[in-house]
């Protein structure tokens, strides 16, 4: 099994329309998001993917850090030039989360799920996540940096401690090492497929699939927006990718992913193998 990520191996027989138009890899960087910002200023192919084997300042949502031992994960940023309405930005995060979850399910037959809006879970433990940042683009197109981090071949001893959610890796759940190149290729193809659905503006289709894969739906929890907390039950994901909460007073309120934070202690996900089997059938 190849220990290092090699662009020519990742793009070999890659069947995509946009994602993976160019693939570069680094041995060590501060963050692939930092590299992506520099590339964006000098011109790039839409769909460029930047991988690194190690990040010294990897970051996640809400300022959280993301750490992964060298040659043990998939750490990359995807550059996308896309025209999307501001109130639908959360759908881009959802599209990526769906892609990762389906790749895990299809290639490894593991019951991966999504904790809204951006955490990827297996058996209630976090295996990966998505971070989307908006950069200034042209007048008609916005530039998005889509950061993705996945724990692939990390062992139990190498798992980070003191995390928001219990952590795991694909290898731990798979009970065996995962070929990172084959998985990366499959993931880029799934991202390209779901990104095409987003570009064709099939927003409800994305929201419905997100809901099917989302363990947050149906839970009673507290959501913080600004300095205000709201308590209620999650009943749906909106066409814009927002979390629909039926408040304790009976009102319905929709929260956008970039503006809201879920109380993690209240929202520990349920493990639902039945959902996995139903969706696969």
**pLDDT value for 64:** 57
- Collapsed DSSP state (helix, strand, coil) of residue 109: coil
With bands split at pLDDT 50, 70 and 90, how would you rate the model's confidence at 274? very low
Q: 215-276: same fold as 7-212? A: no
Has domain 7-212 been given CATH number 3.10.520.10?
Answer: no
pLDDT at 60: 53
The pLDDT-based confidence of 98 (bands split at 50, 70, 90) is very high
Scored b (16 or more CB within 10 A) or e, 80-112 reads bbeebeeebbbbbbbbbbbbbbbbbbebbebbb
- Residue 38 scores a pLDDT above 70: yes
* pLDDT at residue 267 is higher than 60: no
Strand partners, 82: 142
What is the pTM assigned to this prediction? 0.90
Strand, helix or coil for residue 55: strand
Task: Region of 58 please: left (phi>0), alpha (psi -120 to 50) or beta.
Answer: beta
Peptide bond into 117 cis (omega under 30): yes
Question: Where does the pLDDT of residue 239 fall: very low under 50, low under 70, confident under 90, or very high at 90 and above?
Answer: very high
Angle at 197 between CA 22 and CA 200, to 5 degrees: 100
Measured CA distances, 24 to 31, 184, 248 (Å): 14, 13, 49
Position 180 pLDDT exceeds 90: yes
Per-residue model confidence (pLDDT) at position 273: 43
Please tell me the predicted confidence (pLDDT) of residue 256.
86
pLDDT of 249 above 80: yes
- Read off the pLDDT band of 161 (50, 70, 90): confident
Q: How far is CA 236 from CA 205, 208, 251, in A?
A: 13, 9, 14
Mean pLDDT, residues 65-70: 75
Domain boundaries, the chain: 7-212, 215-276
- Fold adopted by 215-276: SH3 type barrels. (2.30.30)
> Could you tell me the pLDDT band of residue 271, with boundaries at 50, 70 and 90?
very low
Mean pLDDT taken over the chain: 88
Is residue 172 within 8 A of residue 154, CB to CB? The reply is yes
Of 119-123, 136-140, 206-210, 258-262, minimum mean pLDDT range: 136-140
* Overall average pLDDT of the 3-16 stretch: 94
- Residue 99 CA to residue 78 CA, distance in Å, equals 13
Q: What is the pLDDT of residues 111-140, one digit of tens each?
A: 999 999 999 999 999 999 999 998 865 556
């Amino acid at each position: 099994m190849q220990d290092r990520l090699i662009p020519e191996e990742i793009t070999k027989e890659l069947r995509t329309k946009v994602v993976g138009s160019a693939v570069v890899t680094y041995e060590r960087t501060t963050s692939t998001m930092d590299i992506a910002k520099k590339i964006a200023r000098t011109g790039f192919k839409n769909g460029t993917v930047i991988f690194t084997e190690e990040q010294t300042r990897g970051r996640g949502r809400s300022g959280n850090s993301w750490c992964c031992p060298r040659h043990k994960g998939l750490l990359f940023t995807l550059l996308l030039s896309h025209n999307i309405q501001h109130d639908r930005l959360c759908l881009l995060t959802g599209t990526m989360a769906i892609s990762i979850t389906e790749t895990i399910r299809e290639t490894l037959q593991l019951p991966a799920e999504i904790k809204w809006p951006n955490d990827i879970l297996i058996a209630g433990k976090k295996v990966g996540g998505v971070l989307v940042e908006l950069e200034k683009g042209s007048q008609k197109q916005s530039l998005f940096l889509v950061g993705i981090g996945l724990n692939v071949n990390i062992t139990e001893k190498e798992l980070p401690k003191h995390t928001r959610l219990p952590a795991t890796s694909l290898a731990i759940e798979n009970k065996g090492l995962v070929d990172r190149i084959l998985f990366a290729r499959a993931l880029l193809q799934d991202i390209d497929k779901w990104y095409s659905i987003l570009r064709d503006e099939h927003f409800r289709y994305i929201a419905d699939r997100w809901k099917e894969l989302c363990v947050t739906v149906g839970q009673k929890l507290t959501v913080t927006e600004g300095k205000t907390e709201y308590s209620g039950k999650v009943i749906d994901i909106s066409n814009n990718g927002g979390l629909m909460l039926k408040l304790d007073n009976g009102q319905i309120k929709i929260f956008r992913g970039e503006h809201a934070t879920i109380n993690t202690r209240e929202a520990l996900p349920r493990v639902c193998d039945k959902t996995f089997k139903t969706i696969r059938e």
